[in-house]
Structure 1
Amino acid sequence: MKLFAQYVKARFGLFVLSGACALIFGLLFFLYGLEPEAYGYGLTLCLVALTIYVARDFAAYYKTHHVWRELLDVSLLNVALEETTTDPDLRALFAQIAREKNELIAAGEARKTDLTDYFTLWIHQVKLPVSAMRLMLANHDLNEADWKKQIFALERYLGMVLAYLRMKSDSTDYVIRMFSLDSMLRAAIRTFSTEFIYKKIRLSFTPTGLEVLSDEKWLQFVVEQLLSNAIKYSALGSTIEMYANGYDLVIEDHGCGISASDLKRIREKGFTGENGRVHKEESSGLGLYLCEQVLARLHHPFVIESTLNEGTRVVLRLDPALLERE
């Protein structure tokens, strides 16, 4: 009875219209002096038709009501909602909801897979300095330079994973402002001062005098990754050059270089190529992947040019116009 009362309330307009029509026809019959029996006969036929319509409509209303009540006890994520109604608009709406749900699930699965893949690679790499320090402890090796080298490697890997998590976070904000490029570059160079000394590598840094529009913290992270690669693949006593060509920042080393076949894939996550097989204790295949991701968000294109056994040249395009157009 309560459900029928809800139905009457939902269809109240229909009942009011039907009653109004009956009154209008009754008034017309009265004004024209027509036989009351004719009016009563016509009203009876209309009531029968209305009763049949209401019975069928209430049956559909009753069925829909119970379908919705049953859905309260199950997980809606596993229900094809478009099958619960015959209303074409609702079916289209529910189909759209189902598509968006599937897209969200697919995006979540892709994000989970990406995170798993990254940490699998990262854990493999971070074990190397940890294993090296364990071995030094076992051999009572107290060489300060060796310990600093392993601790520095560990700090770099921790910094990479923190950067990765911040980059993948939905709450990460990029602070885009003008700042001195030289000040940021000097901070990045100081980070590797011990590495330069350890490998006897000379840095030829030409001040750029540029003010660039970007996120200083993230751009420094990228420069540090590129410097790390340049040092890693440079021979003892070689030179790394850092200078500007217009608004292009150039980092150039004269190390082992990259083969043409590897050059096409070096931005892929986990790819180390021929150099990775030679320097397997230092190559993670994560640095350039992170650079690619960060620079895409900052709208700074970058180019890598390399000749095997001659060196590698990385060009970061920092023209403010590139960012302002986005």
Structure 2
Amino acid sequence: KAGAQVHNVFMRRVSIFPPHGLDIEDNFFSVQRSIADRPGRRYLGVCSPGSLRPAMLIRVYTAFLTAAQALFDRFGQAADPYLTMVGYFNSLRELGGMKRLAEDDVQTRSYRVQMSLVDRPGLAQRSVYNIKELTSRVSSQDIPKYLDQLEVKFNASYDSEKEAYVTRWDENEMRAIDVLLATNMLSVGVDVNRLGLMAVNGQPKGTAEYIQATSRVGRQFPGLVCSVLTWARPRDLSHYETFEHYHATFYKHVEAQSVTPFSPRAMDRGLTGTMLSILRLENDLFNPNKGASELDETDGEEIEKV
């Protein structure tokens, strides 16, 4: 809706140059690359009718964490992108509940996976120690530390006795993050190339937000995004029923931004500069003999009086 937005703001017509070409894979503005040349993301939808949302999240997190550990035991450093589990939430209330579950149930299930799921291949016992959150509740001083910590990889050293790769940390060494819980703070400005695994709790309100958030994983390595959809929410259920078609065409579902050129908030932000300009102009008009040096000395004082 670029034409309607430009008309509402500037009352002018808009034209795109150069126009879109004949090939959708190369339209001058973007080029579609093959997955063989550039790793992409695979989207997985999970919906369990009759199950509670916390129970679904616990099982998804446990399965992903223990499966990543099994890959690490076998392949070592190559499995590093999938050892950090990223959880995306639409609200702080849901994130707070999942953090408590991650610190309790997910840790317990991941540690006891060999005893309870011994007949299921592809899972390995794992101890989940480092759980962080990236939200507005975190201090502004801690956010840069967490972002630096996301860059830390799981070091791999082969243990001949266990016949598997293990991770050993020194006492004062910065540990890698096992689980990162985040809100929409993650979708802007977080460029960590090593992330490859994400679980989205519920369908975000906007498609643009969904694309931005899930594009944080799979930037350098193949990524896996799991959308945990709740059967009791009609919108989540609708996305699950059309999951494949929606994700194959979700760029065309991006909502147009609303344009409000004379909104109260926009006028409040613009009126301050306009009033100061008028005051400076009136000062020059009513005091034509006032020198430049005198104006500079009293300028700040007059603004304070206003």
TM-score for both structures, normalised by structure 1: 0.21
Q: Which entry has the higher C-alpha Rg, 1 or 2?
A: 1
Using CA pairs below 8 Å that are at least 6 residues apart, which structure has the higher relative contact order? 2
